Amino acid sequence: MHCGVMVAYACFLSNHFPDPGGFPVAGKCQICGKGALSGNKVSHANNRSKKISKPNLQSIKALSPNGAHVRMHVCTRCIRSGKVKKVS
């Protein structure tokens, strides 16, 4: 491909598929970023199979810095430690 065509294609991709940096990722805490952990489940006979431990995420209404009510997916540790101000 010609270099100009590649630049135009990259521009097309960036315009139509924006970087998801501003959007929350499914299965992760929006405050601390805690996500799923993977490991092995080991039986008594030492057979190993994959397991996934997921965080305890709760959907809550929280106060944003500008005072608006925002729905967030937050782990219970962040709720308990007071990192999130819930709407009462």
Read off the pLDDT of residues 52-85 as tens digits, 9 standing for 90 and up: 999 999 999 998 888 899 999 999 999 999 999 9
Residue 72 lies in a domain: yes
35, two tokens? 């996500």
> CATH number for the domain including 32?
2.30.170.40
How far apart (Å, rounded) are the C-alpha atoms in residues 69 and 88?
11
Residue 1 lies in a domain: no
Residue 5 lies in a domain: no
Residue 8 lies in a domain: no
Residue 48 lies in a domain: yes
Dihedral angle, C-alpha 41, 51, 71, 59, nearest 10 °: -50
CB 73 within 8 A of CB 59: yes
User: Can you give the residue range of the structural domain that contains 62?
Assistant: 23-88
Summarised one tens digit per residue, pLDDT across range 9-51 is 555 555 554 545 556 788 999 999 999 999 999 999 999 999 9
